[in-house]
Amino acid sequence: MKFSKTLMSITAAGALCAAATPALAFDNEIHGSYLMKYFVTNYEAVGNRYIFRDSDNDFTNSRSRKTSNYFDTRTRFYYSAKASDDLKLVTAFEIDAVFGDRAQQTARNGGAALEADQVNLETKWVYLDFKIPSTPVKITAGIQPIKDKFKGIFFDADVAGINSVTTMGPATIGLGYFRAYDSDLFTTSNDNTNARGVDNLDIVALSADYNVNKNLRVGGAYYLYNDDRSANTLTVHCFGANFDAKINKLALSGFAAMQQGEVKNSDVSISALAFNLAAKHPVGPGTLKVAALYTTGDDGDNNTNTAWQAVNQSPNGANNGTNGNTNMTNSYNESGMMLLNRNTSTGGTTTDYHLVQGAGNLDQGVILATIGYDATINPKWYAKTNVGAAWVSSNNSQMTNLKTHGNNFIGTEINLETGYKLYDNLTASVQGAYVILGGYYSDMDNGRDPANPFTARLALNYAF
């Protein structure tokens, strides 16, 4: 009898405690993806993204380069600790590995060799996502994904910072500050003698969008890019306008952007332009899409660099006219290309290389025109095909590691992707692309033309 009363008292006390502490309840959200690709290619993963070279870093044997075949994998884990709809912690982690790469080491992108045991789990995101109480302001603070309002051609990266989004009726205002590098911390030694927070790569982002009606959105954006990591510090002001519109079933989007700036402690100024227009329309069982991108290249004036600049991992990425934009953190995903430009929607692993080096394209700019069709054959089977052509805007000599170019035409790509859902969360697909090189590469191989690049891929993509 006494035992029953004691048990009832403990049960009642536990229930009261549970009811009195609702703030301790969290929703733990876990999801992720696993992508495995098998490549057969004469271009990707050859150790150089610019052209098809042999082991001696010249063009002598480029026509007879052996075709590569390998497996590349990418695994991502996402975990969110959600206290409420207005407060959560978001994290993401990544593992990249190529079958047979390395093992028993501490290094990035490895662990798929015999016996594995590699320390290679990478931090991708760690940020707090919350709404300021009684306001329309949402804040994300920490390591987070950011992408510009110009479809990613200026920056598309993971970076540490604080970002805010304020929604007021049909208007949305974004304001963020991001510290990409602090030179006093970016070192392999412990001899940090400089003041922290002084020699940085800083990015300020300001944007405003307005929904005119349900079929039209207009917006504007301004970005300050200030790089103080070297003697010739760099400042770029990037600003422009963008829109999304729908006319019946026709979807339109585009932007116009400008860059102004300077390489300090030098006589070099920066003045560049970028334009884009894209359209999509349902046709039959799928969607027909066309897109065009134009960015200016350097016209050769020693006092003004007129090439479009992207946020760069290297100091002086937009420099005084020598091989800029080599470590860009930008993207352009509307093309549907696999080899002509960096298109993350058809890539997804570390070895998806491309001919056009970002929107800046090594200070030469780019003109890219594409047309494609995405078809849903049935609920399990899809197919996509794209054709695109690319030119450099300015055929200059900024790519000091290459020989003189024949003309501005880079080449034409045709590609195809088809996939089938084996399960709701598992898709098997086949990708293939072939580029017919243009006059840009004429006579670059000791009087001969380099071999046309191709890639063929088998992929398994599991999302959970």
The 3-state secondary structure of 123-154 reads: EEEEEEEEECCCCCEEEEEEEEEEECCCCCCC
CATH number of the structural domain spanning residue 442: 2.40.160.100
Residue 12 domain flag? no
Q: What is the pTM of this model?
A: 0.86
pLDDT in tens, the chain (464 residues): 444 444 344 344 444 444 444 455 789 999 999 999 999 988 876 544 445 544 444 444 444 456 889 999 999 999 999 999 999 999 999 999 999 988 887 777 888 888 888 888 899 999 999 999 999 999 999 999 999 999 999 999 999 999 999 999 999 999 999 999 887 666 544 555 667 878 889 999 999 999 999 999 999 999 999 988 877 788 999 999 999 999 999 999 999 999 999 988 888 899 999 999 999 999 999 999 999 999 999 887 778 889 999 888 877 554 433 334 446 788 899 999 999 987 777 777 877 778 887 777 778 899 999 999 999 999 999 999 999 999 999 877 554 444 456 788 999 999 999 999 999 999 999 999 999 999 888 766 566 677 888 999 999 999 99
Residue 212 domain flag? yes
Residue linked to tokens 């910072």? 161
Residue 4 domain flag? no
Residue linked to tokens 């070192």? 187
Residue 409 domain flag? yes
Tally the domains of the chain: 1
pLDDT at position 354 is 82
What residues make up the domain containing 127?
A: 24-463
SS3 (DSSP) at 4: helix
Residue 32 domain flag? yes
pLDDT at position 449 is 72
Residue 16 domain flag? no
Backbone angles phi, psi at 124, to 5 degrees: -105, -55
Q: Is 134 left (phi over 0), alpha (psi -120 to 50) or beta?
A: left
Question: Is 225:310 a contact under the CB 8 Å cutoff?
Answer: no
> Tokens representing 365?
């700019």
Question: Is 337:331 a contact under the CB 8 Å cutoff?
Answer: no
Residue 235 domain flag? yes
- Report the C-alpha gap between 48 and 456 in whole angstroms: 19
Residue 17 domain flag? no
